[in-house]
Structure 1
Amino acid sequence: MNVRRLAAVDMYGTRGTRRRRLIILAEFLIGVVAMVTLGSWLLASSSGLGDRAFGLWFIGAGLNYAPLSAYAIMLMRPGALDAELAGVDVGRELRRYTVLQLWVFVPLSLVVFDLHDALTRRRARA
């Protein structure tokens, strides 16, 4: 899965309005801060194993929003989102990535996908 493309398609939606871009950027940034903060609080204040596991899940799921946030910030530059989606069937990609967004609930999955993609690109250039 291409995490950058996921962020781009999510930011564009069906019409690519500036308002949607700002809302999605805010969602990603708030997701990182709120979920990691809540997870850290649960981890620190809980004595039970279940509560601590839930806190770890929140932290891991919240960290999935970090690469999405980074890409969203990059894609906010004028013309960046349009360049990323040039030649892409946005409607088809939107349907595909709507299902793939569920990976955000699997702790650290998007972080791993993004690292894998970065390593693959790096090897291809070498």
Structure 2
Amino acid sequence: MSAPLLFEVSEIAVLALAAGTLVAGVSMLRRYPVAGAALLLGALAWLIAEGLHWLQIGVIMPGLEGEEHDSARFMVGMIGDALYFGVGGIGLLLLFFAAVADRAARGDQRREPLALAQQVGAQAWRYYRGSRGRRGRY
């Protein structure tokens, strides 16, 4: 199997998994609203990442043919890969969160994932609001 064919097959598999995850998220929304929403958002993030990757490879890169565009191709490749893996990574984190979001309390003294996520989000928001007026890093 050649590398380009393997790449195309893997892209189709990712799209199929994202579509299946969308369907699972919609079906889970009523019974497990947080997990269903996390599944939907994770699948949408993967679809956005795939769309950005297609835009990079199918639209932008073909327009940058020739030796005079070597540096532009390099920059588009770096930025495109960073966006692809960044947005895809956020989608993957949302899928992992969906797996534990609505777990039942077991009396094991562990905080519930949703409460922990709310606390981390609130701390991040306080940090963001507190550092907006400052310049530079401390």
Smaller-chain TM-score bracket: 0.3 to 0.5
Q: Which has the higher contact order (CA 8 A, sep 6+)?
A: 1
Q: Select the structure of larger CA radius of gyration.
A: 2
TM-score where L is the length of structure 1: 0.45
